[in-house]
Structure 1
Amino acid sequence: MDETAGALFADSVRPHATSWDLAGEIPAGIVRDLARAGLLACDLPARYGGDASSPLALGRLCAELGGVCTSLRSLVTVQGMVAASVLRWGTEEQRSRWLPALAGGDLLAGFAATEDGAGTELSSVVSTVRREGTALVLDGRKRWVTFGGLADVLLVLARLDGHLATVLVETDRPGVATEPVRGLLGLRAAHVSHVRFDSVRVPQENQLAPAGFGLSHVTATALDHGRYTVAWGCAAMAAACVDHVSAHTAARRQGTVLLRDHQVVRARLGRAVVAASSARELCLRAAASRQHGGPEALMDTVIAKYAAAGAAATVSQDALQLMGAAGCTADSPVERFFRDARITQLIEGAEQVAEVRIGDHALRERAGRTAGDRVTADGPVR
């Protein structure tokens, strides 16, 4: 992928981000435009229609898009989540069938896992898949499916023979019904929908990985890919808010005094700069870990997403505080980022879940170091 392509595309759609948010939808043609620009599932191998973009290139793309429109970045995220899952766990026949269509924009994908009683705890899903001859029959209801209203195919987590499994379901099959979700706090243009499956029949070859691998392997791959792209988008949101509020405080006067001349304003700006910069550095560390393929990549990604989502939420809130009414209007990017940022602290693992995971990792690391200690006359050696 030409690394300038993401920046050029982001600049071309920047004037439309507010209208998309107000309308509650991204035009369907944007999917084709992204594909033509080589920006959909760009990290797939070339033989499947991608260009084997590095983790860093993918991250920078999501930063370019996320600094303009979170819903647009979400489109790239969900397409990549499903593509990554098929690439990692699909058969060669499944890869050849699905991946070129995902990379080329012929199919828009969605990831359908969450249910009424299964959000953070996805092992509690109750949607079912049963075998009938050579077909699989799916029943259930999924909630909060990003781009569920536009998706041509959904990767669905459900129970098969008592085990969690994943199945690719085309949305034009009889029995699939979507219900748009309006008035969301954020991601308003991301076509979020609830989806119902009533005796939906798909061929057995649409099952991705054996039953029992649905959560621990396939869903885990999708969420890891999602966290990584969300992290970069959030870091860019924070940076964009710094730019907007810096411009405002540099020009805004209170009487005869520029807003920037107040120490408390400069101090808050300073904290915002540090938060945004720290988030980007953690994203860069995650990119390097993923490029090397080491065991630390998963945790580095969790840390980056947690920190970047927190930075986007904090910095956008501080930007609103400094901008006052000027930041609260419907056409203010900061107002939109403030709403979007709060959603990013929930998706792909809520912040509290991430904190527990990071804490558990720290304890395991400490236990491993302690177990590896050996004592000599000069003291412990590590």
Structure 2
Amino acid sequence: MDHAAFAESARAGAAAWDAGAGLPAEVVRSVADAGFLAADLPVEHGGRGWSATEVGELCASLGGVCSALRALVTVQGMVAAAVLRWGDRGQRAAWLPALAGGDRLAAFAATETGAGTDLSAVDTEISATPGGLRVRGRKVWVTFGQSADVFLVLARSGGGLRTALVEADRPGVTVEPVTGQLGMRAARIANVRFDDVTIPAANAIAPPGYGLSHVAGTALDHGRFTVAWGCVGIAESCLDHTATHVGTRTQGGARLADHDAVRALLGRCLAEARAARAVCAHAAALRERGEPAAIAETVLAKYTASRAATAVSEHAVRLHGSAGIAPDSTVGRLHRDAVVMRIIEGPDEVAERHLGDHALRRRR
């Protein structure tokens, strides 16, 4: 089954997952069995060798139906990308096929109460201890933290920030489910405590000092890219739902689509969605060519697409009227998810500063 057909088959359950306990285990297994987890890993590591464009289209299809499905692909891909680039040969052999096949579900544990946008301020510690390494600290808002078999943890150490893989079943790991958040309600988000957790030294990914700039940087870049494409899916899905609604809904004997103001607003939504797709496609092309500008263009893609998803979904809710805020409203659910995507890396000004630097570099 291709990803568009898979996404369509998941559409009927999305509202219930959002309202209930989250993405069911059997759905997670079906994503893995379809080959969508870490699909961009090389075939020799268990992946499908997909291009950036193919992964982007996957995330757009899933994001337009259920942001938690897209988030599952995102977090698995983030950890896999970091291990592929910065893990040693043994770590790649031990972890990547399990991540690609869904035998191990991963989560990226970086954010803390005092370290959100500025991850250099994390307080979690990794230190040497007899038998390996000790991990101590607490992470918050870990996507799929309730389901993860392993966490890629960003922490402080004597030589600078570093990362390590911490299995969820090790003594001292406590998972605290988070529920009732604005959006992404099916993504099994959790806060996670690491109370003097001992792990093998072989679980450390890259040397101290490489944790944020290299390992986490690779993961975050992959995350931004897939989130951007998921936002394209949100915008396009809300546009399609709204075009259908205004084309069939009558008010005062006339279709909503017969009103000039409604058609103008729908046109604005089309422009927003098309622009977001174009920027994401450009970022994908740069990634496939290995262009140095790909990282900055991915920031631009996430910035542009998340703003488009928020705007289009908001217009969709308004044009649906009371149906747009009903508990089972697709556009209402996607709007809540879009708002979360807009703020996950902090206010717009954070991205805008990076993009301003990129604009200045381009003129030199």
Tell me which amino acid in the other structure corresponds to 2:86: W
Percent identity between matched residues is: 55
| Match 2:154 to one of 137, 141, 157 | 157
In structure 2, the partner of 1:5 is 2
Structure of higher CA gyration radius: 1
One of 96, 99, 102 as aligned partner of 1:102: 99
Cα displacement (A) at 1:30: 1.9
Q: Give 2:61's aligned residue.
A: 64
Is 1:301 paired with 2:285? no
Residue 261 (structure 1) aligned with residue 258 (structure 2): yes
Q: Distance in 1 between matches of 2:250 and 2:69?
A: 35
Match of residue 75 from structure 2: 78
Deviation digits for residues 296-349 of structure 1 (CA, Å, limit 9, x no counterpart): 111111111100000000000011111110111111110001100000012245
CA–CA separation in structure 2 for the residues paired with 1:47 and 1:168: 22
The aligned counterpart of 1:221 is: 218
Equivalent-residue separation in structure 1 for 2:183 and 2:32 (angstroms): 25
Distance 2:346 2:196 in 1: 30
Q: Does 1:176 align with 2:173?
A: yes
Aligned counterpart for 2:279 among listed residues 270, 277, 282:
282
**DSSP-derived class of the 1:179 partner:** strand
CA distance in 1, matches of 2:213, 2:345: 14
TM-score after normalising by structure 2:
0.98
Distance 1:34 1:10 in 2: 10
The corresponding residue for 2:52 is 55
Equivalent in the alignment of 1:373: none
Aligned residue for 1:345, secondary structure, equals helix
CA distance in 1, matches of 2:163, 2:346: 19
Length, aligned pairs only: 364
Tell me the alpha carbon deviations over residues 85-129 of structure 1, each in whole angstroms, 9 at most, x when there is no partner: 000000000000000000010000000000010000000001111
1:161 partner letter? G
State how far apart, in whole Å, the 1-side matches of 2:26 and 2:158 are: 40
After superposition, the CA RMSD in angstroms is 1.0
- Residue 313 in structure 1 maps to residue 329 in structure 2: no
How far apart, CA to CA, are the structure 2 residues paired with 1:325 and 1:32?
36
Provide the C-alpha distance between the structure 1 equivalents of 2:268 and 2:11, rounded to a whole number of angstroms: 27
SS across alignment from 2:69? helix
- Cα distance in 2 for partners of 1:194, 1:52 equals 33
In structure 1, distance between residues paired with 2:236 and 2:285: 21
Counterpart mapping for 1:1-382 below 5 A:
5-348=2-345, 350-366=347-363, 368=364
- Please give the secondary structure, in 2, of the residue aligned with 1:305: helix
Which amino acid in structure 2 is aligned with residue 137 of structure 1? R
Quote the offset at 1:203 in angstroms. 0.1
Tell me the CA shift for residue 362 of structure 1: 1.0
Residue identity matched to 1:78: V
Letter in 1 for 2:37: L
One-letter amino acid of the counterpart of residue 112, structure 1: A
SS in 2 for 1:356: helix
Q: What 5-or-longer segments of structure 2 have no aligned partner?
A: none
Moved more, 54-63 or 252-261: 252-261
**Whole-Å Cα distance in 2 between the matches of residues 347 and 223 of structure 1?**
11
Separation in structure 2 between the aligned mates of residue 16 and residue 348 of structure 1, nearest angstrom: 29
Question: Residue type of the partner of 1:269?
Answer: L
Q: Which amino acid aligns with 1:129?
A: I
Q: Deviations over 1:258-295 (max 9, x none)?
A: 11111111111010000001000111101100000011
- Give the CA deviation at 1:351: 2.5
What's the counterpart of residue 377 of structure 1?
A: none
Following TM superposition, by how much is the alpha carbon of 1:238 offset from its aligned partner in structure 2, in angstroms?
0.3
Deviation at 1:360, TM superposition (A): 1.4
Runs (4+) off by over 4 Å: none
